[in-house]
């Protein structure tokens, strides 16, 4: 037996208690007895029993009342009621009240063994189900977060840590790093996963539109408000609301948002009825909120209300070792969606990708692979399919110094900060490389 099942016997007849006690003890169960319902309930307050075997007819509180009270303490408790032939109707009532089964006294030894075996099976199935749920949850919706680098492992670890809590989360990271994927992964692994994840792209909406979008509006609240409309906070009831580009919202919206976050109550635009919604908030930004608070462009109280937990999603250039895995993932993804056989990638093209700085991060890499599959020969992605040169020209870096700094950093990361190998790749001596690192303040 994997786990020692515990049984509580509740019967006012001593001979019945003793008989059952001996029978179950010989079977290797952990057994406890109570002579009345009151004692049984007091035992149940301090101890968990897997199976409760209770007589229906007892002086004082009867078995049915005890069953109802047990179900209030532990709704999934397995209660088997024992009854005499004359009280089968009561046993049926017990089943309606949530008893697992009933037996009529005296019972056949085999019936008793079967009953306990079935109940034990139910317990182990429930436990197995719970374990499987945990396993499924631990894997859910993180498949898009590809990588084996320490940086991405830390992000996954952070997701696992915060998912089960109800705390607000701010996800920071450059544009295209996958902040929304992180938000989805947090939601999918949280107890709110069976309820909606509602995303709002704050940067794409004007103040009045965002207000209507978040809080909803009543019919006639403004020109064009033809119908009552639920807001995103209302839609996210019991679930999660994801506010992307939170740094772009106006000062007025910051105040409104703070109020909602604190009270979880709001009024639709043009309405007068207060609406409650139980949501968890996850925000994302590619800007430094802390310095915005210092500059006075973002409210400090809202910052602390939102930034309970911070998850930093590293840019792709800080996890270059993930590029081959990401390339492979995107090739499979787009070949499948285009109904094609997965194409290969030329080693030189892959090497070139690994050396690229990807200012647009994973999103840029994804678009690059999609394009290469579309324009390529359908068998192999080669250098000419990748718009790398064009990307460099379009790079936002303008100064030569900045370009040099980024290039040195990229090479250092590529060679895992091995100065000798990095200097050799850069075709400079070690002293020059050290001087450059010092000049640009490059740090690991």
Partner 1 sequence: MDLQHISLISFGYFEADLLRNMAEAVKKEYLLDVNLKEGHMDLSEFYDPTRRQYNGVRLIREVEASFSADSSKTIGLFNVDLFIPILTYIFGQAFLNGRTGIASSYRLSNERYGMNSDNTVFLERYVKEVIHELGHTFGLIHCHIPTCVMRSSTYVEDIDQKNPHLCPACRMEYNKTLTRL
- Our CB check for partner 1 shows the closer of 103 and 221 to be 103
What is the per-residue DSSP string for 232-243?
HHHHTTTSEEEE
Residue ranges that bind partner 1, judged by CB under 8 A: 1, 13, 15-16, 18-20, 22-23, 25-28, 82, 105-110, 112-113
**Nearest-approach distance from CB 48 to partner 1, in angstroms:** 22
The length of the chain in residues reads 444
Give the C-alpha separation, 268 to 271, whole Å: 5
Q: How far apart are CA 146 and CA 159, in angstroms?
A: 14
**Alpha-carbon gap, residue 411 to 422, rounded angstroms:** 6
Q: Which residues of 159-184 are buried (b: 16+ CB within 10 A; e: fewer)?
A: beebbeeeebbbbbbbebbbbbbbbb
By beta-carbon proximity to partner 1, the closer residue of 28 and 342 is 28
Q: Shortest gap between Cβ of 94 and partner 1 (angstroms)? A: 18
Toward partner 1, which CB reaches closer, 119 or 412? 119
C-beta of residue 177 within 8 angstroms of C-beta of residue 319: no
Residue 59 CB, nearest distance to partner 1 (Å)? 18
**Preceding amide of 106 cis, omega within 30:** yes
Pair 311, 171: CB distance under 8 Å: yes
Of 3 and 259, the one with the shorter C-beta distance to partner 1 is 3
User: Which one, 121 or 265, has the nearer CB to partner 1?
Assistant: 121
Smallest CA-to-CA distance from 345 within 370, 364, 329, 327 is with 327
Nearer to partner 1, 109 or 296 (CB): 109
Give min distance, CB of 10 to partner 1, in A. Answer: 13
**Min separation Cβ 82 and partner 1, Å:** 8
* Closer residue to partner 1 (CB): 10 or 349: 10
Q: How far is the CB of 49 from partner 1 (least distance, A)?
A: 18
* Residue 33: CB minimum distance to partner 1, A: 12
Phi-psi region of 242 (alpha: psi -120 to 50; beta: other; left: phi over 0): beta
């Amino acid at each position: 037996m994997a786990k020692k099942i515990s049984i509580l016997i509740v019967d006012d007849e001593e001979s019945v208690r003793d008989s059952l006690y001996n029978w179950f003890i010989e079977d290797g169960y952990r057994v406890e007895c109570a002579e009345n319902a009151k004692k049984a309930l007091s035992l149940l307050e301090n101890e968990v029993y897997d199976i409760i075997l209770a007589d229906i007819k007892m002086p004082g509180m009867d078995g049915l009342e005890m069953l109802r009270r047990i179900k209030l303490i532990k709704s999934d408790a397995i209660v088997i009621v024992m009854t005499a032939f004359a009280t089968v109707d009561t046993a049926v009532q017990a089943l309606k009240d949530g008893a697992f089964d009933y037996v009529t006294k005296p019972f056949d030894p085999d019936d008793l063994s079967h009953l306990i075996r079935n109940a034990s099976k139910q317990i182990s199935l429930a436990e197995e189900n719970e374990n499987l749920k945990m396993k499924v949850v631990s894997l859910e919706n993180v498949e898009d977060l590809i990588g084996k680098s320490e940086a991405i492992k830390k992000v996954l670890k952070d997701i696992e840590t915060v998912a089960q809590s109800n705390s607000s989360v701010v996800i920071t990271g450059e544009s295209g790093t996958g902040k929304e994927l992180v938000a989805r992964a947090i939601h999918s692994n949280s107890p709110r996963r069976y309820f909606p994840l509602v995303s709002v792209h704050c940067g794409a909406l004007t103040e009045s539109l965002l207000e209507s979008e978040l809080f909803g509006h009543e019919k006639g609240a403004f020109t064009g408000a033809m119908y009552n409309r639920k807001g995103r906070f209302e839609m996210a009831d019991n679930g999660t609301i994801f506010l992307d580009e939170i740094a772009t919202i106006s000062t007025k919206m910051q105040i409104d948002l703070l109020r909602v976050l604190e009270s979880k109550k709001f009024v639709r635009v043009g309405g007068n009825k207060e609406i409650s919604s139980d949501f968890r908030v996850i925000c994302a930004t590619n800007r430094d909120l802390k310095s915005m608070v210092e500059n006075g462009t973002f409210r400090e109280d809202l910052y602390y209300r939102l930034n309970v937990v911070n998850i930093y999603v590293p840019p792709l250039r800080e996890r270059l070792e993930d590029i081959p895995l990401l390339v492979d993932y995107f090739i499979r993804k787009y070949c499948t969606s285009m109904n094609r056989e997965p194409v290969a990638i030329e080693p030189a093209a892959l090497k070139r990708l690994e050396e690229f700085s990807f200012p647009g991060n994973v999103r840029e890499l994804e678009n690059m692979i999609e394009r290469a599959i579309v324009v390529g020969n359908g068998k192999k992605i080669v250098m000419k399919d990748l718009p790398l040169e064009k990307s460099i020209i379009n790079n936002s870096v303008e100064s030569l110094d900045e370009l040099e700094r980024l290039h040195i950093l990229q090479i250092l990361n590529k060679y895992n900060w091995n100065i000798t190998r990095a200097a050799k790749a850069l075709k400079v001596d070690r002293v020059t490389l050290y001087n450059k690192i010092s000049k640009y303040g490059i740090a690991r």
